[in-house]
Amino acid sequence: MKQYIDLLKNILKNGQKKKDRTGVGTISIFGSQMRYNLNHGFPLLTTKRLNINAIIHELLWFLKGSTNIIYLNKNNVNIWNEWADKDGDLGPIYGFQWRRWPSYDNDPIDQIHNLIHDIEHNPYSRRMIVSTWNVGMIKNMALPPCHLLFQVYVLNKELSLLLYQRSADAFLGLPFNIASYSLLIIMIAKTLNLKVKEFIHVIGDAHIYNNHIKQVKLQISRTPRKLPTMTINPFIKNIFNFSFKDFKLINYNPHPHIKGDVAI
């Protein structure tokens, strides 16, 4: 995870003070790229402990097309609670756009289904893209999507994924995003008998909130440890059939967790 630690150092060194909608304030840089070779291990942060259970459950929740926090809360995942309404609803966020993007002819588009179909039947396509930035529906979303578009690339039966993220809370949210999309690549590859290759992460506004600077400095003082391995049930051949029990993280030995408050 040297790429991630280097990003934190870059923000601390070169970031500019910037106001934000939360009122907390940030130091920010614009336009970053990180590349993770997934054959070198699963990129789950080791300089502080992350909750892999929450990462897995959130990704399964996205893939179900769900936009209500009931499933997450039943599995002790509370990362979306601050934005949900009294009924637990979040509006047409990630899962809705992934699985039921509204079309002009009123026939919802299942972008994930279409993506899997194209990887299988037209793997050299340059149109294998999934977007959540539905301009006409942003006003109805509890939070506009941060990780808003990804594209997959297949060559020599190896699968890579490039994610564009408009905004990244470098201390709290970003490590989750790295692990989540890396896991998504592994899931797609395993169900389609492909090899995994690379996760490329492009970030617009990468920032550290002012109330996280102390925690970030502690984190970069720690020496990264060997990456763990993520294994998944090899008998699952449909990405929509995975459940939590189909995942196993091996040899995760991180430094202790570092607490930080979410800027709402």
Give, for all 264 residues of the chain, the pLDDT tens digit. Answer: 899 999 999 999 999 999 998 899 999 999 999 999 999 999 999 999 999 999 999 999 999 999 999 999 999 999 999 999 999 999 999 999 999 999 999 899 999 999 999 999 999 999 999 999 999 999 999 999 999 999 999 999 999 999 999 999 999 999 999 999 999 999 999 999 999 999 999 999 999 999 999 999 999 999 999 999 999 999 999 999 999 999 999 999 999 999 988 877
Catalytic hit among 141, 146, 159, 162: 146
Give the tens place of pLDDT for each residue, 99-137.
Answer: 999 999 989 999 999 999 999 999 999 999 999 999 999
Q: What is the pTM of this model?
A: 0.96
The pLDDT value recorded for residue 260 is 86
Mean pLDDT of the chain: 96
CA dihedral 52, 239, 203, 129 (to 10 degrees): 180
The pLDDT value recorded for residue 261 is 85
The pLDDT value recorded for residue 138 is 97
- H-only helix segments in 110-234: 111-121, 173-191, 213-220
49: helix, strand or coil: coil
Beta bridge pairs of residue 153: 160
- Nearest by Cα to 116 from 176, 61, 65, 185: 185
Q: Is 209 exposed, middle or buried (0-12, 13-18, 19+ CB in 10 A)?
A: buried
The pLDDT value recorded for residue 262 is 84
149 is catalytic: no
Sheet holding 26-37, edge to edge: 16-18, 26-37, 195-209, 158-169, 147-155, 129-131
